[in-house]
Structure 1
Amino acid sequence: MAEASTQTIHDVVCGFCGLGCDDLTVEVEGRAVRVRGEACPEAVRLFTRLDVDDRPVSVAGDPASLDEAIEAARRILSEARAPLIGGLGTDMAGAGALVDLAVRFGGVLDHYASDGLFRNYAAAQRTGWLAATLAEVRNRCDVLLVVGEDPSAIWGRLFERFFPADPLFAGKPRKVVFLGGAPGEKAKVQLGGADVSHIATSDPVAVLEALGGFTAGRVPPGTSFGGVAVEALAALADKLRTAHYAVVTWNAATLDDGDLVAERATALVDTLNVTTRAGVFPLGGRDNLIGVNQLMLWRLGYPLRTAVRGQQSVHDGALYATQAALGDADVLVWVSAFRPEPPPEFAGKLIALAHPETVFEREPDVLIPVGTPGVDHAGTVFRMDSIVSLPLGALRVATLPSVAEAVRRIAEG
């Protein structure tokens, strides 16, 4: 048998973390896939595929045909009282099919990574906000305030995308202030041309609130806030006031008071915009979280954490969060095509449309291994700033169904 030739594909789009890097180089040999050149560890791990047989479809733990699994899933959903359609790690076509599934059988819809999104929503609903896009951060931001832990541990190329090597800021080093955790080595390397400083605090909410007062010209009473001396806060406020375009960024999912951080950051940006230009850049969006949420808004008029019953949709950000909804659910439809994300612990019926490498604590009642968007089949996802949709291409011949294909067969039978 002749050995498979190796194909090198350039400018591959990565749809895993929401940052939307579109410059990856990937080698494909037969069904094996591997990343070459510049890429973050997350992309390397999730793009990598071996040339091995696919995991089989199963029903009640026994191998089955796809037709048998589709029929079993349809039967379980037909008898369900309160389904939860969770995970939702899929591309736009898959998300559309899952909304159709909810319309057909009823159910709550929530993405496994939505906690940070709804902490940000809590702030945006109360005050609104002025959000920057990735392009605005790249091209205009001269002072960046990073709240919380160093985000490059999750988004490996974040600062490279924020501040690429370009002539726009030649001779004018940008200023980056880490408020909370210190920058790691990866961040320091990517920010090598910037003026980087660190202000340690375990209470970023208190610091941001006091900082808002300083930027407005008020001196709050006290000698320190969140463990940060007023002198340091005054100096930081001066940096922000004199910036041409300041940006505040944070990851609400990793902050205990993520909603309050978002609210204080938004208030700070509002104050700065009286005299200069500033914006917020909330981090998030893994596994097409933003795209699925956008599609829900278009189709149902509500975001994630919405229950569909008959011809009605009801949204409740607390009641229909995955962990809360599991308390009432009798069937969990778990969807995770981008990564082997296991479902939460659940005692009811489990239908899994899952990455073939997923490890389950117990065998699903129905398991349909599905292809990964951007590896096994083409698709579309949204970038974390919700502005740009990204086309994902197929890297190898698909032998597993996409989420959209499998779900449509369940819903249309």
Structure 2
Amino acid sequence: MAEVRTIENVACGFCGLACDDLTVEVEGREVRAKAGPGGTVCPEAARLFRRLDTADAVARVAGEVTSQADAASEAHRLLTAATSPVIAGMGTDMTGAGALVDLAIRFGGVLDHHASMGLFRNYAAVQRTGWLASTLAEVRNHCDLLLVVGEDPTANWGRLFEKFYPATPLFATGERRVVFLGGTPGEKARRQLAGITLSELPGAPVEVLEALALLVSGRTPPQATIGGLPLAEVAALAEALRGSKYAVVTWNAAALDDGDLVAERATALVDALNVTTRAGVFPLGGTDNLMGVNQLMLWRLGYPLRTLVSGQGSAHDGTLYATEAALKDADVMVWVSAFRPEPPPSFTGKVIALAHPDTVFETEPDVVIPVGTPGIDHAGTVFRMDSIVSMPLGALRVATLPSVAEAVRRIAEG
């Protein structure tokens, strides 16, 4: 029976929080996350860290088992013959992302991440007006009034409020308050916010945020109700925001139908607050190293995700080169998802999948190359959702599957 190793202060690359205080048990090739400092383990970490000591999935071509080398050769052949590839998913670490950009430079193609919808809804606001963004450390240590727009975000970021509200912040003194606008905190959020003054406003976020910016600026909206709320309730929140020392507005644009408008109105509110006090936005996101992949695209190509590489040049279009739109004109899709068993979207062309070994496909891809997970099978680096901190991930067990970077290198070599 294999010895059980307990490893503390393990970093997690699955969501944009990039927590680095997990406890993990490793027994042979079996891996399991254990309760962390708060006495519980994040459900996402528990699910995605879990590995059994069983044989890994094998490479396949047209549904038939083959070697990694032969699968890479077939992928090379498909890309050589392709006229409009799309490299999608892109759930990988920084080294894997760099290899995928190299692949696009060699064969051409569109590059996009599966979680980029919220990012580009936020970009719509940034491109028009810019914004003043907070970091996780600033929220933890300065924020005395947090406005959460939309539904409870702990469904996607299980330890969010635990990270936002440490027992002893460095600078925030006195009452700390959280207001949910257009959403309701669940049991997990309430537990993490124990001791924090918590309130809810059920109004429509876009209208309420717009009115808050006016009220903070000293103007009064003409209507008696704002987004379904009495003007007096909105005015009371505006007064609380104006009286705060450091207010922060946070939202998940991907989960809001009008996420781009929420981002724009939240930015305007923060701008108004910064005339007399301090405030910032904290957009939520960052799943599967989204922020790191986007950063690398900017470094390498001068453009963010949703960029086409063709010949000696590249072009960016946030709508035309989104995965769903780009696939309409594509003949080959390279799907990459190393952090989680995320299946590729439906596509009628050729599919090359560099996939988590537990992935269940609705339709068998033309080429399947199972890959290891950063932070479990091999070391890597990811970026936190605020784009400030890059987090090193360590290997927890001996790898039997290649990393995305290794698999891409084999494909490129043919």
Fold conserved between structures, TM > 0.5: yes
Q: Tell me the equivalent position of 2:31.
A: 33
Q: Distance in 2 between matches of 1:268 and 1:68?
A: 56
Describe the superposition over 1:216-254 as per-residue Cα deviations: whole angstroms up to 9, x where unpaired: 110100111110111101110011001100000000000
Q: Check the 8 A contact 2:113/2:305 in 1, yes or no.
A: yes
Q: Which SS does the other structure have where 1:95 is aligned?
A: helix
Match of 2:157 among 139, 155, 158: 155
Once structures 1 and 2 are overlaid, which stretch shifts more, 168-177 or 391-400?
A: 168-177
Q: Check the 8 A contact 1:173/1:193 in 2, yes or no.
A: no
Q: Which SS does the other structure have where 1:401 is aligned?
A: coil
Describe the superposition over 1:284-308 as per-residue Cα deviations: whole angstroms up to 9, x where unpaired: 0000000000000000000000000
Q: Which SS does the other structure have where 1:292 is aligned?
A: helix
Q: Which SS does the other structure have where 2:329 is aligned?
A: coil
What amino acid maps onto 2:158 in structure 1? G
Q: Check the 8 A contact 1:90/1:373 in 2, yes or no.
A: yes
Q: Check the 8 A contact 2:141/2:169 in 1, yes or no.
A: no
Q: Distance in 2 between matches of 1:122 and 1:43?
A: 31
Structure 1 residues 219-234: aligned runs within 5 Å: 219-234=220-235
Q: Check the 8 A contact 1:86/1:334 in 2, yes or no.
A: yes
Match of 1:125 among 86, 107, 127: 127
Using the TM superposition, give the Cα deviation of residue 168 of structure 1 relative to its aligned residue in structure 2, in angstroms: 3.8
Q: Tell me the equivalent position of 2:61.
A: 59
Q: Distance in 1 between matches of 2:161 and 2:196?
A: 10
Q: Distance in 2 between matches of 1:292 and 1:12?
A: 21
Describe the superposition over 1:16-36 as per-residue Cα deviations: whole angstroms up to 9, x where unpaired: 011011100000000000011
Tell me whether 1:337 sits opposite 2:335 in the alignment.
Answer: no
Q: Which SS does the other structure have where 2:86 is aligned?
A: strand
Q: Check the 8 A contact 2:6/2:25 in 1, yes or no.
A: yes
Match of 1:109 among 108, 111, 116: 111
Q: Tell me the equivalent position of 2:17.
A: 19
Using the TM superposition, give the Cα deviation of residue 165 of structure 1 relative to its aligned residue in structure 2, in angstroms: 1.1
Q: Tell me the equivalent position of 1:407.
A: 408
Distance change in 2, residues 1:170/1:310 (3 Å): closer
Structure 1: segments with no counterpart, 5+ residues:
none
Tell me whether 1:69 sits opposite 2:76 in the alignment.
Answer: no
Segments ≥4 residues shifted beyond 6 Å: none
Q: Which SS does the other structure have where 2:56 is aligned?
A: coil
What amino acid maps onto 2:9 in structure 1? D
Using the TM superposition, give the Cα deviation of residue 164 of structure 1 relative to its aligned residue in structure 2, in angstroms: 1.1
Describe the superposition over 1:141-191 as per-residue Cα deviations: whole angstroms up to 9, x where unpaired: 000000000101111100000011115468622010000111111111111
Structure 2: segments with no counterpart, 5+ residues:
none
Alignment root-mean-square deviation, CA: 0.9
Using the TM superposition, give the Cα deviation of residue 412 of structure 1 relative to its aligned residue in structure 2, in angstroms: 3.1
Q: Check the 8 A contact 2:267/2:281 in 1, yes or no.
A: yes
Q: Which SS does the other structure have where 1:340 is aligned?
A: coil
Q: Distance in 1 between matches of 2:350 and 2:301?
A: 26
What amino acid maps onto 2:101 in structure 1? V
Q: Check the 8 A contact 2:141/2:172 in 1, yes or no.
A: no
Structure 1 residues 137-152: aligned runs within 5 Å: 137-152=139-154
Q: Check the 8 A contact 2:380/2:394 in 1, yes or no.
A: yes
Count of matched residue pairs: 410
Structure 1 residues 200-211: aligned runs within 5 Å: 200-201=202-203, 203-211=204-212
Distance change in 2, residues 1:193/1:7 (3 Å): same
Q: Distance in 2 between matches of 1:390 and 1:74?
A: 32
Q: Distance in 2 between matches of 1:122 and 1:187?
A: 29
Structure 1 residues 68-107: aligned runs within 5 Å: 68-107=70-109
Q: Check the 8 A contact 1:35/1:44 in 2, yes or no.
A: yes
